[in-house]
Amino acid sequence: MNRLLAGIVEAKSEQIALNFVNEVRKLKHYKLLEFDEVYKRGNAFLDAFLASIRENEIAPFLSYMSKISGERSLQGYKLDETLTAFKVLEENVWHSVMQDAPNQDIPKLLKIANHVLGVGKDQLARVYLNLRIKTENKLKRAYKKLRNTQAQLIHAEKMASLGQLVAGVAHELNNPINFIYSNLDHLRDYINRLKRVLQFYSITIPSNRADVELIEKTKNEVELDFILKDLDKLIQAFYDGAERTKELVWNLRSFSRRDEKEPHEVDIHGCMENTLALLSHLYKHRITLHKNYGNIPKIMGYASHLNQVFMNLLANAGEAIPGKGDVWITTCPQGDKVITSIRDNGKGIPKKFINKIFDPFFTTKARGEGVGLGLSISYSIIEKHKGKIWVESQQGIGTTFTIELPINAIGEKEKGR
Protein backbone atom coordinates (compact mmCIF):
# COMPACT_ATOMS: atom_id res chain seq x y z
CA MET A 1 0.00 0.00 0.00
CA ASN A 2 2.88 2.36 0.75
CA ARG A 3 4.38 1.65 -2.66
CA LEU A 4 1.08 2.47 -4.33
CA LEU A 5 0.88 5.80 -2.47
CA ALA A 6 4.50 6.60 -3.32
CA GLY A 7 3.91 5.83 -6.99
CA ILE A 8 0.82 8.09 -7.18
CA VAL A 9 2.56 11.05 -5.49
CA GLU A 10 5.75 10.56 -7.50
CA ALA A 11 3.83 10.52 -10.78
CA LYS A 12 2.16 13.81 -9.84
CA SER A 13 5.24 15.39 -8.20
CA GLU A 14 5.90 17.89 -10.99
CA GLN A 15 2.29 19.05 -11.07
CA ILE A 16 2.20 19.24 -7.25
CA ALA A 17 5.37 21.36 -7.24
CA LEU A 18 3.93 23.72 -9.89
CA ASN A 19 0.69 24.09 -7.90
CA PHE A 20 2.78 24.79 -4.82
CA VAL A 21 4.65 27.59 -6.64
CA ASN A 22 1.44 29.21 -7.85
CA GLU A 23 -0.19 29.16 -4.40
CA VAL A 24 2.60 30.07 -2.03
CA ARG A 25 4.07 32.92 -4.10
CA LYS A 26 1.13 34.94 -2.78
CA LEU A 27 2.59 34.69 0.75
CA LYS A 28 4.73 37.46 2.23
CA HIS A 29 8.17 35.83 2.29
CA TYR A 30 7.70 33.69 -0.82
CA LYS A 31 7.02 36.80 -2.94
CA LEU A 32 10.70 37.66 -2.62
CA LEU A 33 11.88 34.29 -4.02
CA GLU A 34 12.54 33.28 -7.63
CA PHE A 35 10.36 30.63 -9.30
CA ASP A 36 13.15 28.03 -9.24
CA GLU A 37 13.71 28.43 -5.49
CA VAL A 38 10.02 27.95 -4.67
CA TYR A 39 9.83 24.95 -7.05
CA LYS A 40 12.91 23.48 -5.41
CA ARG A 41 11.29 23.79 -1.97
CA GLY A 42 8.16 21.99 -3.10
CA ASN A 43 10.19 19.11 -4.54
CA ALA A 44 12.32 18.86 -1.35
CA PHE A 45 9.12 18.44 0.67
CA LEU A 46 7.88 15.69 -1.66
CA ASP A 47 11.24 13.89 -1.61
CA ALA A 48 11.19 13.76 2.21
CA PHE A 49 7.55 12.64 2.22
CA LEU A 50 8.19 9.89 -0.35
CA ALA A 51 11.27 8.66 1.54
CA SER A 52 9.19 8.07 4.66
CA ILE A 53 6.36 6.42 2.67
CA ARG A 54 8.71 4.05 0.80
CA GLU A 55 10.66 3.08 3.94
CA ASN A 56 7.53 2.94 6.10
CA GLU A 57 9.56 4.99 8.56
CA ILE A 58 8.52 8.46 9.76
CA ALA A 59 12.07 9.59 10.66
CA PRO A 60 13.15 11.04 7.23
CA PHE A 61 10.08 13.27 7.06
CA LEU A 62 10.42 14.37 10.73
CA SER A 63 14.08 15.19 10.16
CA TYR A 64 13.18 17.30 7.13
CA MET A 65 10.36 19.13 8.94
CA SER A 66 12.64 19.86 11.90
CA LYS A 67 15.33 21.23 9.57
CA ILE A 68 13.07 23.53 7.52
CA SER A 69 11.19 24.72 10.63
CA GLY A 70 14.45 25.91 12.17
CA GLU A 71 15.62 27.48 8.91
CA ARG A 72 12.31 29.24 8.20
CA SER A 73 11.99 30.63 11.70
CA LEU A 74 15.52 32.07 11.50
CA GLN A 75 14.63 33.64 8.13
CA GLY A 76 11.69 35.41 9.79
CA TYR A 77 8.86 33.17 8.57
CA LYS A 78 6.00 33.05 11.06
CA LEU A 79 4.43 29.72 12.01
CA ASP A 80 1.13 30.51 10.28
CA GLU A 81 2.89 31.24 6.97
CA THR A 82 4.92 28.01 7.16
CA LEU A 83 1.78 26.04 8.02
CA THR A 84 -0.03 27.61 5.05
CA ALA A 85 2.72 26.43 2.69
CA PHE A 86 2.52 22.98 4.31
CA LYS A 87 -1.26 22.91 3.82
CA VAL A 88 -0.91 23.66 0.09
CA LEU A 89 1.31 20.59 -0.36
CA GLU A 90 -0.89 18.49 1.91
CA GLU A 91 -4.03 19.28 -0.13
CA ASN A 92 -2.21 18.47 -3.39
CA VAL A 93 -1.19 15.05 -2.04
CA TRP A 94 -4.80 14.33 -0.98
CA HIS A 95 -6.10 15.51 -4.40
CA SER A 96 -3.66 13.19 -6.19
CA VAL A 97 -4.80 10.21 -4.11
CA MET A 98 -8.51 11.01 -4.65
CA GLN A 99 -7.98 11.40 -8.41
CA ASP A 100 -5.63 8.54 -9.28
CA ALA A 101 -6.06 5.79 -6.66
CA PRO A 102 -8.52 2.88 -7.01
CA ASN A 103 -11.70 3.66 -5.10
CA GLN A 104 -11.33 0.72 -2.70
CA ASP A 105 -7.78 1.83 -1.74
CA ILE A 106 -8.49 5.54 -1.20
CA PRO A 107 -9.37 5.26 2.58
CA LYS A 108 -6.21 3.29 3.37
CA LEU A 109 -3.96 5.55 1.28
CA LEU A 110 -5.43 8.70 2.85
CA LYS A 111 -4.93 7.17 6.31
CA ILE A 112 -1.23 6.56 5.60
CA ALA A 113 -0.76 10.05 4.10
CA ASN A 114 -2.64 11.73 6.94
CA HIS A 115 -0.55 9.92 9.53
CA VAL A 116 2.75 11.02 7.99
CA LEU A 117 1.58 14.55 7.24
CA GLY A 118 -0.09 14.93 10.64
CA VAL A 119 3.09 13.92 12.49
CA GLY A 120 5.07 16.29 10.25
CA LYS A 121 2.72 19.15 11.06
CA ASP A 122 3.04 18.46 14.78
CA GLN A 123 6.82 18.40 14.46
CA LEU A 124 6.78 21.72 12.61
CA ALA A 125 4.65 23.36 15.33
CA ARG A 126 6.78 21.80 18.09
CA VAL A 127 10.03 23.14 16.63
CA TYR A 128 8.56 26.62 16.29
CA LEU A 129 7.27 26.46 19.88
CA ASN A 130 10.64 25.33 21.24
CA LEU A 131 12.43 28.03 19.29
CA ARG A 132 9.99 30.61 20.60
CA ILE A 133 10.52 29.42 24.19
CA LYS A 134 14.30 29.50 23.71
CA THR A 135 14.11 32.99 22.22
CA GLU A 136 11.91 34.24 25.04
CA ASN A 137 14.23 32.69 27.66
CA LYS A 138 17.22 34.22 25.95
CA LEU A 139 15.48 37.62 25.95
CA LYS A 140 14.59 37.21 29.63
CA ARG A 141 18.20 36.36 30.47
CA ALA A 142 19.47 39.27 28.41
CA TYR A 143 16.97 41.62 30.08
CA LYS A 144 17.92 40.36 33.54
CA LYS A 145 21.61 40.73 32.70
CA LEU A 146 20.96 44.25 31.40
CA ARG A 147 19.13 45.21 34.60
CA ASN A 148 21.89 43.69 36.72
CA THR A 149 24.52 45.53 34.72
CA GLN A 150 22.55 48.75 35.07
CA ALA A 151 22.25 48.18 38.82
CA GLN A 152 25.97 47.44 39.11
CA LEU A 153 26.87 50.54 37.12
CA ILE A 154 24.68 52.69 39.36
CA HIS A 155 26.20 50.97 42.38
CA ALA A 156 29.75 51.46 41.09
CA GLU A 157 29.07 55.12 40.39
CA LYS A 158 27.46 55.64 43.81
CA MET A 159 30.23 53.79 45.59
CA ALA A 160 32.91 55.74 43.74
CA SER A 161 31.22 59.02 44.65
CA LEU A 162 30.57 57.86 48.21
CA GLY A 163 34.15 56.64 48.59
CA GLN A 164 35.50 59.93 47.31
CA LEU A 165 33.20 61.93 49.56
CA VAL A 166 33.83 59.82 52.65
CA ALA A 167 37.58 59.76 52.10
CA GLY A 168 37.57 63.55 51.68
CA VAL A 169 35.45 64.13 54.78
CA ALA A 170 37.56 61.69 56.79
CA HIS A 171 40.74 63.44 55.69
CA GLU A 172 39.34 66.87 56.57
CA LEU A 173 38.16 65.66 59.98
CA ASN A 174 41.36 63.82 60.72
CA ASN A 175 43.57 66.91 61.05
CA PRO A 176 41.49 68.88 63.61
CA ILE A 177 40.74 65.68 65.56
CA ASN A 178 44.45 64.87 65.79
CA PHE A 179 45.08 68.47 66.89
CA ILE A 180 42.49 68.18 69.70
CA TYR A 181 43.57 64.70 70.70
CA SER A 182 47.29 65.46 70.85
CA ASN A 183 46.76 68.69 72.82
CA LEU A 184 44.64 67.04 75.50
CA ASP A 185 47.81 65.63 77.10
CA HIS A 186 49.24 69.14 77.36
CA LEU A 187 45.97 70.47 78.77
CA ARG A 188 45.91 67.77 81.44
CA ASP A 189 49.54 68.49 82.36
CA TYR A 190 48.93 72.26 82.62
CA ILE A 191 45.85 71.79 84.79
CA ASN A 192 47.71 69.43 87.09
CA ARG A 193 50.43 72.09 87.55
CA LEU A 194 47.83 74.79 88.32
CA LYS A 195 46.18 72.48 90.84
CA ARG A 196 49.51 72.02 92.60
CA VAL A 197 49.94 75.79 92.86
CA LEU A 198 46.41 76.22 94.16
CA GLN A 199 46.98 73.45 96.65
CA PHE A 200 50.14 75.15 97.85
CA TYR A 201 48.28 78.44 98.31
CA SER A 202 45.47 76.69 100.15
CA ILE A 203 47.82 75.39 102.87
CA THR A 204 49.77 78.63 103.21
CA ILE A 205 48.51 80.59 106.21
CA PRO A 206 47.78 84.25 105.35
CA SER A 207 49.22 87.02 107.58
CA ASN A 208 45.89 88.13 109.04
CA ARG A 209 42.32 86.96 109.59
CA ALA A 210 40.85 89.34 106.98
CA ASP A 211 42.90 87.70 104.24
CA VAL A 212 41.74 84.23 105.33
CA GLU A 213 38.10 85.29 105.16
CA LEU A 214 38.60 86.92 101.74
CA ILE A 215 40.23 83.78 100.31
CA GLU A 216 37.46 81.54 101.66
CA LYS A 217 34.80 83.86 100.30
CA THR A 218 36.42 83.88 96.83
CA LYS A 219 36.79 80.08 96.82
CA ASN A 220 33.10 79.70 97.66
CA GLU A 221 32.04 82.21 95.03
CA VAL A 222 33.90 80.44 92.19
CA GLU A 223 33.13 76.96 93.59
CA LEU A 224 36.83 76.09 93.52
CA ASP A 225 36.48 72.74 95.31
CA PHE A 226 33.83 71.55 92.82
CA ILE A 227 35.85 72.75 89.81
CA LEU A 228 38.99 70.97 90.98
CA LYS A 229 37.05 67.73 91.41
CA ASP A 230 35.19 68.08 88.08
CA LEU A 231 38.23 69.01 85.96
CA ASP A 232 39.48 65.41 85.77
CA LYS A 233 36.04 64.19 84.66
CA LEU A 234 35.85 66.95 82.06
CA ILE A 235 39.25 66.12 80.58
CA GLN A 236 38.37 62.42 80.49
CA ALA A 237 35.14 63.29 78.64
CA PHE A 238 37.22 65.22 76.08
CA TYR A 239 39.45 62.17 75.68
CA ASP A 240 36.46 59.86 75.21
CA GLY A 241 34.81 62.20 72.70
CA ALA A 242 38.01 62.63 70.70
CA GLU A 243 38.62 58.87 70.78
CA ARG A 244 35.12 58.11 69.52
CA THR A 245 35.41 60.72 66.76
CA LYS A 246 38.80 59.35 65.76
CA GLU A 247 37.33 55.83 65.65
CA LEU A 248 34.40 57.03 63.54
CA VAL A 249 36.78 58.62 61.02
CA TRP A 250 38.77 55.38 60.89
CA ASN A 251 35.54 53.42 60.33
CA LEU A 252 34.54 55.75 57.50
CA ARG A 253 37.90 55.38 55.82
CA SER A 254 37.89 51.59 56.25
CA PHE A 255 34.33 51.30 54.99
CA SER A 256 34.97 53.25 51.79
CA ARG A 257 38.34 51.65 50.91
CA ARG A 258 38.96 52.80 47.36
CA ASP A 259 42.34 51.07 46.94
CA GLU A 260 41.02 47.48 46.72
CA LYS A 261 42.11 46.33 43.28
CA GLU A 262 43.11 42.83 44.38
CA PRO A 263 41.43 40.46 46.87
CA HIS A 264 43.01 40.19 50.28
CA GLU A 265 42.28 38.60 53.65
CA VAL A 266 39.04 39.92 55.13
CA ASP A 267 37.96 39.66 58.76
CA ILE A 268 34.16 39.16 58.67
CA HIS A 269 33.81 40.17 62.32
CA GLY A 270 35.85 43.32 61.68
CA CYS A 271 33.59 44.23 58.75
CA MET A 272 30.53 43.63 60.92
CA GLU A 273 31.80 45.80 63.79
CA ASN A 274 32.86 48.51 61.36
CA THR A 275 29.39 48.57 59.83
CA LEU A 276 27.59 48.50 63.19
CA ALA A 277 29.64 51.51 64.33
CA LEU A 278 28.30 53.48 61.36
CA LEU A 279 24.73 52.32 62.08
CA SER A 280 24.78 53.24 65.77
CA HIS A 281 22.35 56.12 65.11
CA LEU A 282 19.78 53.60 63.78
CA TYR A 283 20.23 51.00 66.53
CA LYS A 284 21.00 53.13 69.60
CA HIS A 285 18.43 52.95 72.46
CA ARG A 286 16.03 51.01 70.20
CA ILE A 287 17.46 47.72 68.98
CA THR A 288 19.20 45.10 71.12
CA LEU A 289 22.06 43.35 69.35
CA HIS A 290 22.76 39.69 70.02
CA LYS A 291 26.17 38.66 68.67
CA ASN A 292 27.02 35.00 68.44
CA TYR A 293 30.41 35.10 66.73
CA GLY A 294 31.98 31.73 65.99
CA ASN A 295 35.65 30.89 65.57
CA ILE A 296 35.85 31.63 61.84
CA PRO A 297 38.93 32.17 59.65
CA LYS A 298 39.54 35.20 57.46
CA ILE A 299 38.37 34.85 53.86
CA MET A 300 39.81 36.09 50.58
CA GLY A 301 37.74 38.93 49.19
CA TYR A 302 37.06 42.64 49.05
CA ALA A 303 36.34 44.21 52.44
CA SER A 304 34.64 47.35 51.12
CA HIS A 305 32.22 45.26 49.04
CA LEU A 306 31.34 43.01 51.95
CA ASN A 307 30.93 46.12 54.13
CA GLN A 308 28.31 47.23 51.61
CA VAL A 309 26.47 43.88 51.92
CA PHE A 310 26.43 44.01 55.72
CA MET A 311 25.41 47.68 55.62
CA ASN A 312 22.41 46.84 53.39
CA LEU A 313 21.31 43.85 55.47
CA LEU A 314 21.79 45.46 58.88
CA ALA A 315 20.16 48.73 57.78
CA ASN A 316 17.19 46.78 56.37
CA ALA A 317 16.93 44.82 59.62
CA GLY A 318 16.89 48.04 61.64
CA GLU A 319 14.33 49.67 59.37
CA ALA A 320 12.10 46.56 59.44
CA ILE A 321 11.61 47.01 63.19
CA PRO A 322 9.09 49.83 63.76
CA GLY A 323 9.74 50.28 67.49
CA LYS A 324 12.03 48.43 69.85
CA GLY A 325 13.29 45.03 68.77
CA ASP A 326 16.19 42.63 68.40
CA VAL A 327 18.76 41.74 65.78
CA TRP A 328 20.81 38.53 65.97
CA ILE A 329 24.16 38.16 64.17
CA THR A 330 25.59 34.65 63.99
CA THR A 331 28.78 33.40 62.33
CA CYS A 332 30.18 29.89 62.16
CA PRO A 333 32.61 27.83 60.07
CA GLN A 334 31.27 25.08 57.82
CA GLY A 335 33.99 23.08 56.08
CA ASP A 336 35.78 25.38 53.66
CA LYS A 337 33.07 28.01 53.99
CA VAL A 338 31.95 30.67 56.46
CA ILE A 339 28.25 31.06 57.29
CA THR A 340 26.87 34.42 58.43
CA SER A 341 23.23 35.03 59.34
CA ILE A 342 21.46 38.28 60.22
CA ARG A 343 18.02 37.86 61.79
CA ASP A 344 15.51 40.44 63.00
CA ASN A 345 12.11 40.26 64.66
CA GLY A 346 10.65 42.99 62.45
CA LYS A 347 7.54 43.03 60.31
CA GLY A 348 8.80 40.39 57.83
CA ILE A 349 8.44 40.16 54.04
CA PRO A 350 5.13 39.15 52.38
CA LYS A 351 5.37 35.68 50.85
CA LYS A 352 4.48 36.96 47.37
CA PHE A 353 7.60 39.17 47.35
CA ILE A 354 10.16 36.62 48.58
CA ASN A 355 11.19 35.54 45.06
CA LYS A 356 11.55 39.13 43.88
CA ILE A 357 13.59 40.83 46.58
CA PHE A 358 16.94 40.26 44.86
CA ASP A 359 15.64 41.65 41.53
CA PRO A 360 17.13 45.01 40.52
CA PHE A 361 14.87 48.00 41.29
CA PHE A 362 12.31 45.92 43.23
CA THR A 363 11.42 47.46 46.58
CA THR A 364 8.62 47.24 49.13
CA LYS A 365 9.54 50.62 50.58
CA ALA A 366 7.47 53.72 50.01
CA ARG A 367 8.38 55.97 47.09
CA GLY A 368 11.40 58.08 47.89
CA GLU A 369 12.67 55.70 50.60
CA GLY A 370 14.56 53.31 48.33
CA VAL A 371 15.21 52.43 44.68
CA GLY A 372 15.47 48.65 45.12
CA LEU A 373 19.19 48.28 44.48
CA GLY A 374 20.53 47.32 47.92
CA LEU A 375 19.68 43.62 47.92
CA SER A 376 20.32 43.22 44.19
CA ILE A 377 23.80 44.67 44.61
CA SER A 378 24.38 42.53 47.70
CA TYR A 379 23.44 39.44 45.67
CA SER A 380 25.90 40.42 42.92
CA ILE A 381 28.69 41.02 45.45
CA ILE A 382 28.15 37.62 47.09
CA GLU A 383 28.12 36.00 43.63
CA LYS A 384 31.40 37.77 42.85
CA HIS A 385 32.83 36.16 45.99
CA LYS A 386 31.59 32.76 44.69
CA GLY A 387 29.14 32.58 47.59
CA LYS A 388 25.39 32.26 48.11
CA ILE A 389 22.78 34.38 49.85
CA TRP A 390 19.20 33.42 50.66
CA VAL A 391 16.32 34.68 52.74
CA GLU A 392 13.64 33.23 55.01
CA SER A 393 10.84 35.42 56.28
CA GLN A 394 7.45 35.31 57.92
CA GLN A 395 5.18 38.29 58.27
CA GLY A 396 4.87 39.47 61.84
CA ILE A 397 7.73 37.18 62.95
CA GLY A 398 10.84 38.51 61.22
CA THR A 399 13.42 37.88 58.51
CA THR A 400 16.71 35.97 58.31
CA PHE A 401 19.34 36.52 55.63
CA THR A 402 22.00 33.82 55.40
CA ILE A 403 25.30 34.24 53.57
CA GLU A 404 27.65 31.41 52.62
CA LEU A 405 31.15 32.53 51.63
CA PRO A 406 34.00 30.24 50.54
CA ILE A 407 37.27 30.91 52.37
CA ASN A 408 39.66 30.87 49.40
CA ALA A 409 37.54 30.87 46.20
CA ILE A 410 38.64 34.30 44.96
CA GLY A 411 42.25 33.82 46.00
CA GLU A 412 42.50 30.51 44.16
CA LYS A 413 41.01 32.06 41.03
CA GLU A 414 43.50 34.91 41.07
CA LYS A 415 46.45 32.53 41.56
CA GLY A 416 45.30 30.43 38.64
CA ARG A 417 45.50 33.30 36.20
Q: E strand or H helix at 387, and its extent?
A: none
User: Which of the residues in the chain have pLDDT under 50?
Assistant: 368, 371, 413-417
pLDDT of residue 413: 47
> Which tens digit of pLDDT belongs to each residue from 199-236?
777 766 666 777 777 777 877 777 777 777 777 887 77
pLDDT of residue 231: 79
- What number of residues does the chain have? 417
Q: Give the single-character DSSP code of 30.
A: G
Three-class SS of residue 58? coil
> Which tens digit of pLDDT belongs to each residue from 340-365?
999 999 999 888 888 888 776 656 66
Q: Which residues contact 288 (CB under 8 A, 6 or more apart)?
A: 324, 325, 326, 327
Domains located in the chain, CATH noted? 2-141 (1.10.490.10), 260-417 (3.30.565.10)
Q: E strand or H helix at 341, and its extent?
A: strand 337-344
Cα(345)–Cα(396) distance, integer angstroms: 8
Q: What is the pTM of this model?
A: 0.46
